[in-house]
Chain A
Amino acid sequence: MTSMSPIAIDEPKAPEQPRISRRGTWGVSWHGVRTVAQLELRQRVRSTRWIVALVVWFVVVGGLTLLLSGFLSDAMLGTGNSGPLMFGAVVFLVLGLGLLVTPTLTSTAVNGDRNAGTLATLQVTLLSPAEIALGKLAAAWLAACAFLVLSIPFLVVALFMGDTPPFAVVRVVVIVALLLVSVCGIGLGFSALVSRTAGSTVLTFITVAALVLLTPMLFGLTFSSVEQEENVQVWGPVDGSTFGEDMECGFTTQVQTVAHTERTWWLLGINPFVVVADGAGTGPIVHDDYGSSADPLGSIRDGVRSLRTPNRVDNQCYYASDSLPANDQRGDDSAIWPWGLAANLALGAAGFVIAVRRLAIPSRTLARGTRVA
C-alpha cells in the first residue's frame, strides 16, 4: 500500500453499512493469551488482599475439616468407618466454597475494566478479542485452582480415614476444576453483557445458585406432576404365602402411583454437587444395619442414577431367599457426570463466546450508558 487512489475513496457509496472484517476476532496465540493472563494475575496477585483470601480459605477449610473429623469420630464411634462420610463432606465443602468465591473472579472482568478506562486501550492493540477473553478466563481459572490446590491436603486427610479409593481425589479435583472454569466463563459472559459490575456479579451468583439450589427445588416441585397411576409389575409374596424368610414370591400386576422421574432427573444431573458426587468414583454402597449409608457421594450417585429408570419392578420380597431374577433388579447404571459436566461447560462456553463477541471491535452498538473509552 504505497499510494492510495483518491477515486476509490470518492466513489459514491452504497447506503449499506460498511462491512466489518471479523477475521482475527477468534485468532488466538499463546503469546497474546499469556500477555493478558499475566496482566490479570499481576493486578490480582500484587494486592495483599489476594494473599489474605488464600490464608482465610486455608484456615476456613482446615478448621471445618477438623471440626467435622472431631464430630464424626464422636458420632460414628463404633458404628463403622467414617472415611467416606468425611471425604464427601470435605468435597462438598470445597465445592460449595469454590462456587461462592469463583463468581467474583470474572464477574467484573470486562465491565470493571471498561469502567476503569483500561479496556479500550487494550482492545485497540493487536490482541484479538478471543485472546483478551481467554487470558482473563485463564487468569481467573488459575486463581480458582489455587484455592482448590490449597484444599487438596484436607481431601488427603479424609482419604487416610479409609474406605475411599485414592483415585477419587484426582477425579474430584479435576471435576471441581472443570466446574469452576464453567463458572468463570459464566461470569465473564455476564461481565461483558452488563455494564454495571454489581449487576453482573449478582447475575453470576444467581446463575450459580440456580444450578445448585433451584435444580433440586424444581425437581421436587415437579415431582407430583410426573406422578401417575399405572399398572406395575410387582415381585411379591404369592397368595397364601406367609411373610417371612421362606415365603414364595412371584410376579403380579398392581395399579400403583409411579413417578416418571426419567423426565426430570436431568434437573439433578446438571447440579454441580451431583456431578461431583457421581464422578467421584467412590466405592459401591454398603448399607448398614439401619439401611442408611455412610457414603454421601455414593448415595447421591446411586439415587440420581436410579431416577432415570423408575418403572422397574417393585420388589416387595427382598427378605425372601427366593429373590428377584437379577436382570430385573438393576436399572440404568451408566454415569451421569459426563452429561452434567458437559452442560455446565456449555454454559461456561456460552459466556465465553458472548464475551468474545462483545469485545470484538469495531463495535456497532454501545452498551447503554457507557462510553467506549
Chain B
Amino acid sequence: MEINPLKENASFGKIRRSIISSFALTFIFAILLAIGINLTTNLREYESSIINLAGRQRMLSQKIAKSIYYLQTSEQNQIEISEDVALWSAVHRGFQNGHEALDIPKIENRTVDSILKAISPYQENIELISKQLNLANLSKAELRELSIWERKYLAGMDHMVEALQLHIDNTIGNLTYVLGILTFLFLIFIWLLYHFFIKRIIDSVGVLSKNMESQSRHLASILENTSDRIWTVDKNYTLIAYNSVFAKGRLDDGGIAPIKGENVLEAGYFLENKSKTKDYYDRVLSGTSFLTEVEIEKEGRKIFYELSFNPIIDDHGLIIGCSVYQRDITKRIRAMEELKESESSLKEAQRIANIGNWEWDIKNNEIKWSDQLYSIFGKDQKTFTPTYEALLELIHPEDREIFDSNVQYSLENREDPDISNRIILEDGHLRHVHQKGKVFFDKNNTAVRMAGTTQDITVMENARERILQQYRELQNFVYIISHNIRGPISTLLSLIDLLEHNDNRDHKDIILLMGNTVQKLDGTIKDLNHSLTLKNIATIDFEQVDLKGVMEDILILISDEIEKYHATIEFDFAKAPTAFGMKRYFSNIFYHLIMNSIKHRSPERDPHVVIYSNTTPIGGIQIVLSDNGKGMELNEERRKKIFNMYGKLSGSTHGKGIGLYLVKTQVETMNGSIEVESKNGEGSIFTINLLLNAMEKKLLAH
C-alpha cells in the first residue's frame, strides 16, 4: 500500500510548495528547450547566408572573368571591373577573416577554411591581373591562366557551398536528434512531474477537500446540535454565518429570515435594545471576549438570555469579526429563583420551628449546619467549624456519653438515631434539643453519611417541666385533701362511734377530743385558704419580684401569729432586692417558712427569724432564712423527709406539715433548690438558691 505523505498530512502549504516546485522545474526545462531551439535556428540562418554569399561570389568571379575577356575585344569600362574586383576580394577576405561592413561572419568550419586556403592564390592572382594597367591587352597565356584560375576558384566556391550544405544538413540532422531527445526528456519530465508532484497534489487536494467536507459537516453538526442561537459577524457588522436555530429564532421573533451579508445592526435584530446591540458588537470587535445576561420582555413574558461574544482573529492577529452565542436561560433563572424562594422559606420555617438540619460527612468528619443550627447552638458561623468532637463538647456532660453511644449504636445497627439531649451554650445556658437523623451507607456497608434535624425543644421541655410541676402541685392538693382533711374527719367519725358504744367513759372527754380534732381540721382549712388567697395575689407569669414587697404582705397576713407568740422577724433584701419568678410562689415560700419557724419555736425563747438575700457568683440569687427554734439533728433521710408531704420537724406538735412540701415544689418550679441545716436546740437555716439567669428568664417568660 502506497503511503502518500501528503495524504497523511495534507495541507495547503504543502500543496502550494509542490505546485511552486513543479512550476519552477517546468520553467527551467522550457528555458533550456528554447535555448536549444534558438541555437540551432541561428546556426542554420548563418550557414544559409554564407551559402548565398558564396553563390554571389561565384557569379561575381564569372562576371569579372567575363569582363576581362570582353575587355580584350571591346571597349569596356575598366573602372567597373576594378570595383567588382575590390568587392569580390573584400568578400573573399571576409570569408576568411570575417567582414563586418559586408555583414560576413567568419566561417568557423575547417573544410571551408581549407578550401578557402586552397583557392586564395587563385583569387590573389586574379586580383593581381585585374590591377594590371594593360588589362585590355593581356597575352594569350595570361588569359589562359586567368581562365584556369577562374575555373579553379569557381570549383573552390562550389566545394565550399557543398561543404556548407553538408554542414547544414548535418546540423539539421543533429538538431532533429537533439530535439527528439529533448522532447523525450520533456515527456519523462512531465511524467515524473505528474508522478511525484501533480498526482500527489491531486490526492492531497482530494484528501483535503474530503477532510474539509467532513470537518465542515462535523462543525455544522456541533453548531446545529444546540438550542443556542449562533452566528458570526465580520467587522463591518455583516452577518457571515449562522446556525438554523438562529434562523428559526429570527423568523419567530420578527418574521424575517436572516440573509447572509445583511448588516446586523440594520436588520433589526437587537440583543437588548438598539444602542446596546451596537455596544456589544463594538466591544467584542475591539478584541474582548465576554459573557452577559440580558432580560427581554416578549409578549408580556420575561425571557432571560445569556450572550457570549468571542472575537475571530486571523493568522496575523487581526480581528476579522466575532461569533455570538445566545442561550435561553429563562428556565435556569426561574429554577434559581424558585430555589432561592424555597431556600428562604426553608430558612424561615427552620427559624419559626427553631429547627435546623445538618449533614455529617463521617469519613471526613465534616458537619454542615443550617443557619438555624448555629443560632440554636449559640455559635458564630464564621468562627465555629462543626465536627463530631466539637458537637460532643457542646453536649451536657451528663448526656455526652449516652449521646455518643446512641450515635455509635445507630451506625453499627443501621438504625436511624432519635436522641433528645441537653446542650450547654458558651454562656452556660442550658438548652434541650431533639435530634433525628438518617444514616447512609456505601456499597461496602460502611456508614459514610448521616443527615437529619435538630430541634430546640427547650421551650417545650420547660413547659413540660412546668406541667409536671403543676401536676405535682395538683397531686399535692389531693394529698392534702386525702390526709390533712380526711384525717381529722375520720378521727371525728371514730370519736362519734366511740361515743355511741362507750358507756364507761366520760362523754365529756370524748367531746373535748372532738373539739380538738375540729380545731385541727379548721387549721388545715385555714392553711389551704391562705394558700388560695396567696395564689390570687400575683399573676401567673414570671417576673422580677420585689422581695421586700412580698415580705411586707406576709407580715400583715401573719400579724396575729407574730403577736401571739411574740415573734420578731428581721429582713434585709438590699443585696438582691428582686428575684425572678412568680410572686405568689415567693409569698407562699415566705409564709410557710416563717410559719414553720413559729410552729417549731423553742419553748425556752421567743421566736426570732432572720431573712436576707444575696447574689451568687454564678449569677443567681440566694435567700437565707434562719430561726432560733428548737431545731433537730438531721441525717440524709430526715433532710429529705422534712420537705415531704408529711414531714414535720417535731413529733410533739400536731398538724401535718404541708407548708415545706409546697415550699420545695414552688422553689423547684422556679428552677431553684432549697436546703436545710438544723441543730437540736439551736435552730434551723433554710437556704434557697435560685439559678435563674438572663437566658432562662427569657425562655421562661416566653
Are A and B bound to each other?
no
Interface residues of chain A, those whose CB is within 8 Å of chain B, are: none
Interface residues of chain B, those whose CB is within 8 Å of chain A, are: none
